[in-house]
Amino acid sequence: MVSPQVKFVVVGHHSRHRQALRLAKSLGAVLLIDSGDNGANWNHRRALKWAASQSCRVVVLEDDAQLVSGFVRHVTDWLARFPENMLSFYLGTGRPPQYQMQIAEQLIKSDRMRSDYITLPRLIHGVCYSVPPQHIGRVLARWDSNKSADFAVGDAYGGSVIYPCWSLVDHADGEPVERHPDAAPRTERRRAWRLL
């Protein structure tokens, strides 16, 4: 299932080791388990440091990503279309709440224009994304360890992000393992708006 021009890395929490291992094996991916409760920010940074040493595009997935059929083929197609852009292959409901109205409006607009993607000003989900190789060094240099992983990646990237209208992964939406800085409970439904 491994694509020659794309590599995968799965970031996982030790409490989800088994499901993370299953996901990594299905993709021939590198698996980075946070066995010390260092947090998602720390593990995503570790994934991007690994990605920086690769000679091809790398896709980062969280351990609770659920792949659509033909995931690798679809990802490869999108990355070939947008080699210079950051892409997120998951567009979710519920979190973060401040972006949900904008997502709904963008999806309606894309339907009207018969477009298959939308853009948002930042990365709002860390479930499955890819930073262009030429920008990973800048992302690592501008990294903020105090932000949630998705905002740390996206804000360090500093540009708009492409989201396919039909997500290539869903989110398992189980009990969160991350202790978020705002300490607000994550009770909203966290599933893909549309799934391919």
Tens digits of per-residue pLDDT, 151-186? 999 999 999 999 999 999 998 755 555 555 566 655
Question: Does the CA dihedral 59-60-62-63 come out positive or negative?
Answer: positive
Report pTM.
0.89
Q: What is the mean pLDDT of residues 114-143?
A: 96
Q: Are strands 65-67 and 169-171 parallel, antiparallel or unpaired?
A: antiparallel
CA distance to 108, 127, 152, 194, per residue, from 102 (Å): 10, 19, 21, 15
Domains identified in the chain and CATH numbers: 6-171 (3.90.550.10)
Percent of the chain with pLDDT over 90: 75
User: CB–CB of 196/165 below 8 Å?
Assistant: no
